Structure 1
Amino acid sequence: MLRHRLAAFFEPRSLCVIADTELPVFTHLPSYLKSSSDQLRLADDATQARQQLRHFAPTPGRDLAMLCIRSSLLSAALQQLDAAPPRAILLLPGEHVDEAPSATRELIERWCRKHNVMLLGPRAFGIYRPHLGLNLSLASMQPRAGRIAVVSQSRMLLRSIIDWAEDVNLGLSAAVSLGEVTDVDLPELIEYLATDARTDSIALYLDKLTSGRELISALRAASSVKPVIVLRAGRADPILAGSDAVLDAALRRAGAIRVNYFVELFAAIKAMSYARRPRGGKIAMLANGRASAQLVQDAIPADSSMSMASLTQATAKGLSEIFGVGTLTENPVIPYVPLTPDALINGLRCLVADSQVDAVMVILAPDEFCDMPQVVTALAAFAPGAQKPIVTCLLGEAKMRPLRRLLDEAGMPAFRTPETALSAVLSLTSYHYNQQLLQQTRYVHSGQRPAELETARAILETACRDHAGVLTREQCIALVECFHPDVRWEPDEDDERFSALDDVPSVMIRVSRDPVFGPWIWFGEGGHMVHFSPSDRGVDLPPLNLNLAGKLIERSRVWRQELQSYVEPQILRKLQGLLETMSELVSELPAIESLEVDPIILGYRDLHIREIRISLMQPLPAVIPQDNGFNHMAIYPYPTHLVQSRVFADGTPWILRPIRPEDADALQEFIRALSEKSRYMRFVSMMRELTPKMLTRYTYVDYHRELALVATTQVPNPANRGLPQEIIIGLAHYLRNADGVGAEYALVISDEWQKRGLGTSLMQALIAAARQQQLAYIEGVVLSGNRPMLHLMTSLGFINEEDHEDPSMRRVWLPLDAGDQGV
């Protein structure tokens, strides 16, 4: 099994430490590293320190070298490492102020490039791996082992998070600060933690952003398997690249949770660590006082993914019987009798059982008429095992703090104020909402007219020859018509018919370009004097499908404040379609710098567009997006160009296409229908179906990093009067390896469709796509007895080698360098 290259930092098998200060690792080195460690504690005197370095001979091939020395000694230390360079270097800040930090950065970067060594630092906080007892930092604090990884671009903020985690008994799986050099960048670190078996959730503190595509791709991969919580400071700082509203949109589409304040980060970490995940955003509150519940209701953002649940009549009746006559049961639920342990637990059971409730908040203030310790003890015993998340706020300090700790220790999130409890619940509901966005894919459905891309590109080329940076109105309309929008084009302002629709409400769609995340789309109020507000959540990144476009409209300020009360469903659908059209346009035409459709007049039956403005990049990009991986966008769109209609030798038609998230049920049926022999040959087990995690991994694909291709055909569906039904008959998939340059493939063909050349066709398409993504090789492990698969692979040019770890398996692999055109 390949070892991830970042394992040299997070799971070093050998270590070299050179420091001119006392480090925790000197006195608390884990036993498994003691026999494979070189340690040098330098003297305070610089002359003596240089003498020590000259006589220091580090062992070659160490995983990690940890340096914490004054900048004047760095060159001498690196000279000693010349003959025995490690795989990675962690450079911590020394006690002495570095008077030439740029020179230090240049020196260490140049040395690491020369020796092909990974670098974390300079001025990194260091690394914690509590389950290994590993403290590679300056700080003596030792967090307890847990399941949360914390990554920060600020080492001082990381210290604070570690200190807070210790206070609330929260364990960490890893803690790391990046330092100033981007050799080990944030996306790669996120990828490593996404596959780390010790990590269940990831908390990130960001300030500076670099590659939008790589960051969002890594976040999408990580958040598809575990929660990712992001805090970013500097919303108004002009030095930090990228719009904060666009970052918000990018994180939503990546399935991550955005928090805005330090206290919200703690609340989200705590909630994600302790609570179950809700399946929606409808919340029920149970409080022993009306005012505290009202404080929470008042603080719920109007544009949030959270709302107050409408309790069923059966729930209201049950609550009245439990708490007595006079109980407020409309949500929030307010009993006016002192709580008892039995009443509280029975009331929670009633709320959890309500189909309209996704999560429950319990808000308790000190009450001299009830035994609060007994009530909280009962809550601590019940809530962690409840089928829906329960989040608690215990208001107060002297009497309530010990009770909050009791809940924390029981594995239930308990908070001190209504605001922090609300932040925790918002993080849970935002996670569910963003996960729904994450699973959305935009593709051309059967029956839809494909865009006339050649005509569209010709319009742009004409404008370029005319040296026009802005298209004329006629060119704009012709360009948009290539994508077949369902709109009516109205006369411009100079036409005498201009005022016919003046009293009808209007909206606008604007596309701009962000320096980090590329094109982004804003849906808002129409009119020339309207300015974009950074707090407006009516922002998203392309590509959009109809579902994503609908969510974008619903989040927008103009929809919430004005349109939702009277816009007819058919007009809403047309607005969704227009947003999808504009998204496709800017996805397929990277030459577009900006686009504005304003006003879009909402008629009774149609959308009427009066004005449109499109400006172009100068000079026009010459590359077609499919050829460079849509690198002008943060999110790689569904690769429609890989969809192919094919025919078997007997005339049966079939489709080769990339997999989509909605293929999950069809893929499961495909696996279930395989013979036991086929399943064993593919999975080396007798499993009858894919686990939920495997199903997600195969059907949710980040097309920037990996690919899954399916072969489908139409068969009669007896359950639906024999009408045609699409089924999957073959799957070819590759996932990137831990080394980041190669991938491991998987191939399985339905028993009934074997010996038709289907495996060859799928593998050829998969190999071509791997080459386009510039992978160095593709490999697989095949049972030695699976002769048909081994024959297929060797016929495609794969090298067949012995698997040294398991003689019953063969390793087949194919180099994909530019000179190899064997397939």
Structure 2
Amino acid sequence: MLRHRLAAFFEPRSLCVVADTELAVFTQVPAYLRSATDLLPLPDDPALAQQQLSQWTMTPGRDLAVICVRSGLLAAVLQQMAVAPPRALLLLPGQVVDQAPQDTRDLIQAWCQEHSVMLLGPRAFGIYRPHLNLNLSLAQMQPRAGRIAVISQSRMLLRSIIDWAEDVNLGLSAAVSLGEVTDVDLPELVEYLATDPRTDSIALYLDKLTSGRELISALRAASSVKPVIVLRAGRSDAELSGSDAVLDAALRRAGAIRVNYFVELFAAIKAMSYARRPRGGKIAMLANGRASAQLVQDAIPAESSMLMATLTQGTVKCLSEIFGVSTLVDNPVIPYVPLTPDALIEGLRCLIADSQVDAVMVILAPDEFCDMPKVVEALAAFAPGASKPIVTCLLGEAKMRPLRRLLDQTGMPAFRTPETALSAVLSLTSYHYNQQLLQQTRYVHSGQRPAELEQARAILEAAGREGGDQLSREQCIALLECFHPDVHWERDEEDEHFSTQDDVPSVMIRVSRDPIFGPWIWFGEGGHLVRFSASDRGVDLPPLNLNLAGKLIERSRVWRQELQSYVEPQILRKLQGLLETISEMVSELPAIESVELDPIVLGYRDLHIHEINIRLDVSTPVAIPQKTGFSHMAIYPYPTHLVQSRVFADGSPWVLRPIRPEDADALQDFIRGLSEKSRYMRFVSMMRELTPKMLTRYTYVDYHRELALVATTQIPNPANRGLPQEIIIGLAHYLRNADGVGAEYALVISDEWQKRGLGRSLMDALILAARQQQLSYLEGVVLSSNRPMLHLMTSLGFINEEDAEDPSMRRVWLPLNLEEQG
């Protein structure tokens, strides 16, 4: 198995440390590294340090070198290391302030490029790997081992997080700050920790943003398998690149959790360390005081994904029997009798059993009429095994702090204020909401009219020849009509009915371009004087499907404050369709700089557009985005261009297409339907079905970095009156290797559909796509006894080699010579 290149930083097999200050690693070298570590502590005197350096020779082949010296010594250290450069270099800040930091950056960058060395720094905090007892930083503290990784663009903030984690008994799997990164970037760190088996969730602090596509791609891949929590400073700093509202939208679509304040970051980290996560946003509260519950309710943001659950009549009756008829059971649940351990647990069981409840918040204040330690002990014993999340808030300090620690030690999140407890619950519900957005794809359904793309590009080319960046009204309408919108075009002077009635609602759709994340879409109130508010969540990134468009409308301020009470369902569906159409247009036409449809008047049956304006970026050529990898967008759309209708030799139809998240059930049925021999040949095991993580990994694909293709056909479905049902009959996919330049492929064909050329068709399409993504090679491992697969691979040009580690396997690989593509 190939080793990820960042493993040299996070799991070094050998180490060299050169420092003129005392580092923890000098006295705490991990046991597994003691025989493979060079330590060179240097004296404070620069002349003596130079003399010692001149007599030192670095051992060749070291994975990682750590340097922490004053700037005047750096050149001498690098000169000695040049004889045997390490694979990676971590540059910590020296104790003496660097008076020429740019010179230091230039020196270290040039040296690392000359010697092909990965660089983390300068001025990096360093790296913690607690499970390895590895502390490569200036700090002397060693956090306890856990399952949360922290990445920070601020080393001082990272130190604060580590200190806080120690106080609340929270373990970390890794901690790293980037410093002034010149080689190792943020997306690659996220990607590495996404595959780290020691990490269950990732906390990320960022300020400056550079690569929108790479960052969102890495976050989408990571958050599909583990929670990612993001805090960003500088929301009001105009010097920082990229709109904060657009970053919000990008993180939602990436499945990540955005928090706004430092205290919320801590709350989210604690919440995500909990094993249970809700399957929805409906919350029940149980409190021993009305005021504390009201404080939480008052703080729930109107636009949040969290809702107060409506308890069923059975639950109301159950709670009344447990706590007495005087109990308030309308959610929040407020018992007016002193709590007992048994009553609390029975009440929680009742709430958890309610189908309308996704999570429970317990809010307890000190009460002299109950034995609070016994109550909390019962809660600590019950909550970790509950089938739904339970988040607690224990108000108070002197008496309640030890009880919070008791809950923390059981792995159950406990908070000291209603506000922090609410932040924790909001992070849990946001995670569920954003995961639903993450799983959405947009593709053309059968029966939909495909867009007239050639005609649309011809309109833009004609406008470009005219020399302006603003399309005329006629050109705007003609361009949008190429995508078949379900709208009516109006002119104000010709449509007095809509232009003169103030009570007729109107909305607008605007598209702008962000320097980091590309085109973004805003749905809001119609009218020429309407200005964008950074707090409006009616913002999203293309591509949109109908579901995503509906979520966008529901999040918008105009929907929540005005439209939701009276807009008819058919008009809502048409608004969703129009947003999907606009999204498709800006996805397929990279030259579009901005779009404005305002006002869009909501009629009884139709949408009436009065004005449309489209502006072009004259510096962007009219290009086919598939050929440029949709480089103008942060999210790579579903590759519709790879969908192909085909027939077998006997005339039977089948479809080759990229996989979609909603294929999960069909893929599981496909795997279950394989013979034991086929499953063994593919997975080298007798597994009968895919694990949930494997199912997610195969069906959720970041099309920017990898690909999974399925072959499907239609069969009669007896359970649905014999109507056609799509089934999967073949799967081919590749996942990028740890080296980032190659990929490992896999191919499996349903038993009854073998020997029809299906495997060759899938592999031909996979190889072509790998070349288009500029991969250097494809490789796979095949059982030596699987002669049909080996024959297919060699006929496709793959090289068949022995597997050095396992003689029962063969390694087959194909170099992808990009020059041969013409």
When normalised by structure 1's length, the TM-score is 0.99
Instruction: Tell me what 2:549 maps to.
Output: 549
Equivalent position SS for 2:329:
coil
Instruction: Tell me what 2:394 maps to.
Output: 394
Instruction: Tell me what 2:790 maps to.
Output: 790
Give 1:747's aligned amino acid: L
Instruction: Tell me what 1:201 maps to.
Output: 201
Q: Indicate yes or no: 2:521 matched with 1:531.
A: no
Equivalent position SS for 1:819:
helix
Distance 1:573 1:219 in 2: 31
Instruction: Tell me what 2:617 maps to.
Output: 617
Give 1:574's aligned amino acid: K
Q: Indicate yes or no: 2:51 matched with 1:74.
A: no
Instruction: Tell me what 1:725 maps to.
Output: 725
Equivalent position SS for 1:355:
coil
Instruction: Tell me what 2:28 maps to.
Output: 28
Instruction: Tell me what 1:144 maps to.
Output: 144
Distance 2:652 2:394 in 1: 66
Give 1:540's aligned amino acid: D
Instruction: Tell me what 1:273 maps to.
Output: 273
Equivalent position SS for 1:93:
coil
Distance 1:145 1:691 in 2: 27
Q: Indicate yes or no: 2:361 matched with 1:374.
A: no
Distance 1:797 1:118 in 2: 34
Instruction: Tell me what 2:677 maps to.
Output: 677
Distance 2:234 2:76 in 1: 38
Equivalent position SS for 2:818:
coil
Distance 1:769 1:684 in 2: 26
Instruction: Tell me what 2:91 maps to.
Output: 91
Structure 1 residue runs without a partner (length 5+): none
Give 1:170's aligned amino acid: L
How many residues were matched structurally? 822
Distance 2:182 2:414 in 1: 38
User: Bigger shift: 745-754 or 155-164?
Assistant: 745-754
Equivalent position SS for 2:333:
coil
Equivalent position SS for 1:619:
coil
Equivalent position SS for 1:246:
helix
Q: Indicate yes or no: 2:281 matched with 1:285.
A: no
Equivalent position SS for 1:370:
coil
Distance 2:185 2:69 in 1: 23
Give 1:243's aligned amino acid: S
Alpha-carbon spacing, 1:708–1:42, altered in 2? closer, same or farther (3 Å): same
Give 2:172's aligned amino acid: L
Distance 1:595 1:630 in 2: 18
Instruction: Tell me what 1:768 maps to.
Output: 768
Alpha-carbon spacing, 1:714–1:307, altered in 2? closer, same or farther (3 Å): same
Deviation of 1:819 after TM superposition, in Å, equals: 2.9
Alpha-carbon spacing, 1:414–1:278, altered in 2? closer, same or farther (3 Å): same
Alpha-carbon spacing, 1:501–1:763, altered in 2? closer, same or farther (3 Å): farther
Give 1:188's aligned amino acid: E
Distance 1:36 1:520 in 2: 51
Deviation of 1:501 after TM superposition, in Å, equals: 5.9
Do the aligned partners of 1:391 and 1:413 also contact (CA within 8 Å) in 2? Answer: yes
Do the aligned partners of 2:498 and 2:504 also contact (CA within 8 Å) in 1? Answer: no
Deviations along 1:45-96, one digit per CA (max 9) or x if unpaired, are 1111111111110011100000000111111110101110000000000000
User: Bigger shift: 751-760 or 471-480?
Assistant: 751-760
Matches within 5 A, 1:692-707: 692-707=692-707
Give 2:679's aligned amino acid: R
Deviation of 1:752 after TM superposition, in Å, equals: 1.1
Instruction: Tell me what 1:800 maps to.
Output: 800
Equivalent position SS for 1:593:
strand
Distance 2:81 2:492 in 1: 72
Deviation of 1:503 after TM superposition, in Å, equals: 3.8
Instruction: Tell me what 2:748 maps to.
Output: 748
Deviation of 1:275 after TM superposition, in Å, equals: 4.7
Deviation of 1:468 after TM superposition, in Å, equals: 1.6
Alpha-carbon spacing, 1:410–1:497, altered in 2? closer, same or farther (3 Å): closer
Instruction: Tell me what 1:514 maps to.
Output: 514
Equivalent position SS for 2:422:
helix
Deviation of 1:821 after TM superposition, in Å, equals: 5.2
Do the aligned partners of 2:591 and 2:621 also contact (CA within 8 Å) in 1? Answer: yes
Deviations along 1:209-260, one digit per CA (max 9) or x if unpaired, are 0100000000000000000000000001111100000000000000000000
Deviations along 1:389-421, one digit per CA (max 9) or x if unpaired, are 000000000110011001111111100000000
- Percent identity, aligned pairs only, is 86
Equivalent position SS for 1:804:
coil
Give 1:37's aligned amino acid: T
Give 2:346's aligned amino acid: N
User: Bigger shift: 38-47 or 87-96?
Assistant: 38-47
Matches within 5 A, 1:84-233: 84-233=84-233
Distance 2:500 2:399 in 1: 68
Q: Indicate yes or no: 2:662 matched with 1:662.
A: yes
Q: Indicate yes or no: 2:244 matched with 1:244.
A: yes
Do the aligned partners of 1:491 and 1:497 also contact (CA within 8 Å) in 2? Answer: no
Give 2:815's aligned amino acid: P
Distance 1:178 1:722 in 2: 59
Do the aligned partners of 2:589 and 2:623 also contact (CA within 8 Å) in 1? Answer: no
Give 2:488's aligned amino acid: R
Distance 2:661 2:160 in 1: 39
Deviation of 1:623 after TM superposition, in Å, equals: 3.0
Deviation of 1:492 after TM superposition, in Å, equals: 4.3
Do the aligned partners of 1:629 and 1:636 also contact (CA within 8 Å) in 2? Answer: yes
Distance 1:509 1:722 in 2: 43
Give 1:101's aligned amino acid: P
Distance 2:595 2:821 in 1: 41
Distance 1:503 1:21 in 2: 73
Matches within 5 A, 1:336-355: 336-355=336-355
Do the aligned partners of 2:71 and 2:104 also contact (CA within 8 Å) in 1? Answer: yes
Distance 1:406 1:39 in 2: 42
Deviation of 1:716 after TM superposition, in Å, equals: 1.5
Distance 2:292 2:688 in 1: 51
Give 1:135's aligned amino acid: N
Give 2:56's aligned amino acid: F
Do the aligned partners of 1:275 and 1:413 also contact (CA within 8 Å) in 2? Answer: no
Alpha-carbon spacing, 1:493–1:240, altered in 2? closer, same or farther (3 Å): farther
Give 2:261's aligned amino acid: Y
Structure 2 residue runs without a partner (length 5+): none
Deviation of 1:619 after TM superposition, in Å, equals: 2.7
Give 2:607's aligned amino acid: L
Alpha-carbon spacing, 1:425–1:275, altered in 2? closer, same or farther (3 Å): farther
Deviation of 1:689 after TM superposition, in Å, equals: 1.1
Alpha-carbon spacing, 1:494–1:488, altered in 2? closer, same or farther (3 Å): closer
Give 1:129's aligned amino acid: R
When normalised by structure 2's length, the TM-score is 0.99
User: Bigger shift: 117-126 or 643-652?
Assistant: 643-652
User: Bigger shift: 249-258 or 502-511?
Assistant: 502-511
Instruction: Tell me what 2:714 maps to.
Output: 714
Deviations along 1:136-179, one digit per CA (max 9) or x if unpaired, are 00000100000000000000000000000000000000000001
Deviations along 1:641-666, one digit per CA (max 9) or x if unpaired, are 00111111111111110000111111
Deviations along 1:93-149, one digit per CA (max 9) or x if unpaired, are 000010000010000000000111000000000000000000000000100000000
Distance 2:346 2:604 in 1: 51
Distance 2:476 2:182 in 1: 42
Do the aligned partners of 1:521 and 1:540 also contact (CA within 8 Å) in 2? Answer: yes
Distance 1:525 1:361 in 2: 36
Do the aligned partners of 1:501 and 1:601 also contact (CA within 8 Å) in 2? Answer: no
Distance 2:498 2:689 in 1: 62
